[in-house]
A and B are shown apart, each in its own frame.
Chain A
Amino acid sequence: MPEFVTELLGLLGGGAGFAVLKVAFVVFFGVAVMMVVSAPSPSAGKVTYGLLRVGTAALLLAVLAYQATWQVGGFGNRAFVRFLRRYNKRPNAAQVQVVRAPILDRNGMVLAAPKRGEVWGRVYPLGEAAVHPVGYFHPRYGMTGVERLFDPVLSGYSDDESLMAKARGVFTPRADEGAPVTLNIDQRLQRKAYDLMAGQRGAVVVMRPQSGALLALVSSPGFDPNAPGPAAADGRALPAFNRAVQGRYPPGSTFKMLIAAAALTEGLSPAYDCPGGGYVARGSPPIRDSEYYAYQRNGKVWPGWGRLGMRGAMAHSSNVYFAQLGVAAGGAAFNRMMANARINEQLPYITAPDGSLRTARGNAPEVTKNATLAQLAIGQGEVLVTPLHMACFTAAIAADGTMPRPRLGKDEPPERLGTLCTPQVAAQIRPMLREVVTGGTGAKAEIAGLEVAGKTGTAQVPGAKDHAWFTCFAPAGRPNIVVTVLVENGGFGATAALPVAREVLKLADTLGYVRTAEGAGGSSECGVQSAECGVRSAELAGAVP
């Protein structure tokens, strides 16, 4: 072919030339069809196959209408859009397909955002630190977490697959972009808490006690959301497992908060003798204080706390006291408290138009025998809770006995899960937990001027190192924040879990979450842009290739 022809054609192939030819083609094509429609025909015969003629035309029209539900209304079909996203390799795919909207933290910082020009591309500025609550969106491994739950919202397509919805889809233009989802997470707290858990397995929950807003929901170890493969294959550290909401652990001594609340609700606030030899409920092995074993290891004999009130027993985390208290309160009071605390329920922590994410179910057995009650009263035995359950109990004590529903999504209205105890009972327990920090097992948690209150827990695990708990709130007088830390096989709560909680509280205080009540304009805006400060959605378009 001569060169000038090629060049001439090249001009037609580009932009305007092509558009003109495209329109001209349709016009000529249409004119030709019109000419055919109006072409002369010989006169009709006596028999007219009207039914066949109209029937054929009607069938063609019906097929065309059905075609339209795909061709211009296919956007209404969720499964189809998912297929397009995954397998449609057309270079113009980005124009045809909707850009998946970002997931943002409470300050508009990016937790997940689209990679421009890539159908499945996704940027996660926090990486493995937030992979559990945020989830991932991966061409091979699919979706998890908020990415999965809010897929229709983020992708901007309808879930409605009825014929009516399809028909509507034909006449409504497709959206260019889905709607962003905003979480209550503060990415600075999330990142800090995850870093503090480095090298350890466990979970951190940071929560507003009044509204249940989750400022951080950390499970460690995390994994790269853009490469979930190895995590799914790791059967030892189980990084894909969201410990904060799916992990079920014996609560250990942290459970004493609930036992105290149960007893106070029954009007019990006794003092007991707490001998060094421990307490024996009928049919149970002796329940002893941890000091008994510490003394034994040093070749000494633990003399016991002597007579303890509830306040002192809480501060020293006396097993001997709380075993007796549990038995005294009785099985019925215990069972009522377990029901109020919703231990046997899956707590929804984020809801979407078509479902919700829920925690695992905890476990609290129906108790009738004193022997089991004595064990359960110190958080051992068959009782199991998730870290998020624990944060909710702590929030209830912090917020006048009302248990808030944990809320990961920012736009959900606050709800109550129920009443754990009366405001009076909660008000009685808060000073006890404050004393844990001022003069008890949680002494290292004190931060000057913050009035931290909390409870340590060291839960025995058969054949392995103990699980370490620390759950706390601050300020003790008018709590604005709850921090719950669990370190799997971490040993003592006071040494393994408490330092993490302390550092998280410090940062939360710097960010203004502790001294100001929620809604009082607390959280400070990110003044200086830095890596630590995170990425704003608007910058991302330019920043990410």
Chain B
Amino acid sequence: MRKKKVVPAIGPIASAAGVFLVVLLALGCALLAVLGVKSGELAGASAAPLIPLGVFAAGVPLLLVWLRVIGWRGDAGILGAVILLSGLGLTVQFRMGSFARGLESLQSLAPFAVGLAAFAAGATLTRKGKGAWTQPMGWVAYLAALGVLGAVMALGRGYRGGLYLAGNISPTEVVKPLLVFFLAMYLGRNAEAFSETRAGIPLPSFPALAGLVALWCVPMGLTVYQRDLGMVALLNAILLVMLFAVGRRMGYLALGLAALAAAGYGVQYLPSHVQVRFDVWLNPFEDPTGKGWQILHGLAAMYSGGWWGAGLGGGVPQAVPIVTSDFIYAALAEEVGLVGCALLLAAYAVLFSRGFRAAGAAATPFERLLCVGLTASLATQTLLNVAGVTKALPMTGITLPFISHGGTSLITSMLTAGLICGLSDNGSGD
């Protein structure tokens, strides 16, 4: 080691710990406000709904200790943003009464604990620029993704336009990081081929392209068959960003825009359940009590929130159908206002920005692409969800990372963030 890099005055873990403490104060205020509003209902109630928040308060310090033990020196912004977002998510779910059943079902408690563990595992796996060894695992990841999709197809049951396993577990969430692993492996190995351009138009060699197309078509086909429009959009967006990231060829992004335009034009040829989503998006007021009901109630929640919101516990977000999962952002908008939403999106922006930045500093092309893909996965998910709830884009049925109710969604988001967090430490800081 020739020269020691400048180490910030405050270590990344200390910095994240500071964020954690302030978040804890914010959550304490929110908690008291919610409990205060609901004090009438509390007589005789058990303290069980508070346990997930207790897990947060105890689990995050444990995570920080673990990161210290493994010697992690990555981006404190990423770690802090995840602590902030997941803490807020827990509070909002608490406020929405998602933990009301308390200890009776582990479902309410387990996801966050498992999520913290998944974060720790992810960070451990990829820390200090040592993630490259997982590259051959790309094939395993690919086969695992196909296995999950196939299993859901064989065993799952339809519910609200998606397929779920028993207990409404939606294992397809895991497909996202698995396929990112695969793409990072495949594109990393064919980096030169996918950097070829002629006159700005990407022109990868035929074998590399044909291989990608053939391999990509299988999971796409399965997802389309499951009528999961959101997942198709999400996975293709990730693919495009990763293709761009290989050699930073703008042509791929242009290609993406062209594909988007073609998709917009081709809507009329798509199956009716997709067309319905487009119709609702364009004209929600034509069927306000039917198809437009959810999106319009989401907008009504936002409208009643105004600039500053009703305060956590002060609004009536239950008026929005299925508010705790896809539409949790509308509940937040009602209770924390546009200002709170801006803060929330700022936290997301830090996470994504630092994630892409960390990718640039990654040790190997594989890790670089992995970091880009994982960050793009979270970013696309956030954008599609928020844009869908605000009616900027059609609804895609995609959850909001860290905030939406749903075990697999939260665990997958935490695992993804953990991997990014680990990748942000490329080992050069030692």
Contact = CB atoms under 8 A, between A and B. Distances in A.
Contacts of B333: 67, 71
Given A52-B241, A56-B379, A66-B390, 4 more contacts: A9-B39, A28-B29, A31-B26, A36-B19
Contacts of B299: 70, 74, 80
A88 B305 CA distance: 13
B361 A43 contact: yes
Contacts of A41: 12, 75-77, 354, 357-358, 424
B312 A74 contact: no
Interface residues of A, number: 71
Contacts of B9: 40
B103 interface: no
A88 B390 contact: no
Contacts of A46: 360-361
Interface centre among A1, A26, A91, by most chain B C-beta atoms within 10 angstroms, is: A26
Contact of B22 (A12, A28, A72, A82): A28
A53 B29 contact: no
A32 B22 contact: yes
A40 B426 CA distance: 15
Contacts of A72: 306-307, 338
A6 interface: yes
Contact of A49 (B22, B316, B357): B357
B123 to A, nearest CB: 14
23 contacts: A7-B39, A13-B37, A14-B36, A17-B36, A19-B311, A21-B29, A21-B311, A26-B308, A28-B25, A31-B22, A39-B12, A39-B79, A42-B361, A42-B428, A47-B248, A47-B359, A56-B349, A60-B349, A60-B382, A72-B338, A79-B285, A83-B285, A88-B319
Interface in A60-95: 60-64, 66-68, 70-72, 74-75, 79-80, 82-84, 86-93
Contacts of B76: 39-41
Given A9-B32, A49-B359, A33 B288 contact: no
B248 to A, nearest CB: 7
By DSSP majority rule, is chain B's interface helix, strand, loop, or mixed?
Answer: helix
A41 B81 CA distance: 13
Contact of A6 (B42, B77, B88, B300): B42
A87 B288 contact: yes
B170 to A, nearest CB: 24
A489 B303 CA distance: 54
Contacts of B349: 56-57, 60
B406 interface: no
Contacts, number: 285
A298 interface: no
A13 B38 contact: yes
B16 A39 contact: yes
A295 interface: no
Interface in B200-247: 241, 244-245
By DSSP majority rule, is chain A's interface helix, strand, loop, or mixed?
Answer: helix
Nearest to B310: A92
Interface of A: 1, 3, 6-7, 9-14, 17-19, 21-22, 24-26, 28-33, 35-37, 39-49, 51-53, 56-57, 59-64, 66-68, 70-72, 74-75, 79-80, 82-84, 86-93, 96
Interface stretch (B53-61, B145-153, B339-347): B339-347
B40 interface: yes
B405 interface: no
Contacts of B345: 60-61, 63-64
Contacts of B245: 49, 52
A88 B300 contact: yes
Contact of A29 (B18, B40, B47, B343): B343
A489 B306 CA distance: 58
A12 B312 CA distance: 13
Contacts of B343: 26, 29-30, 33
A56 B37 contact: no
Nearest to B37: A13
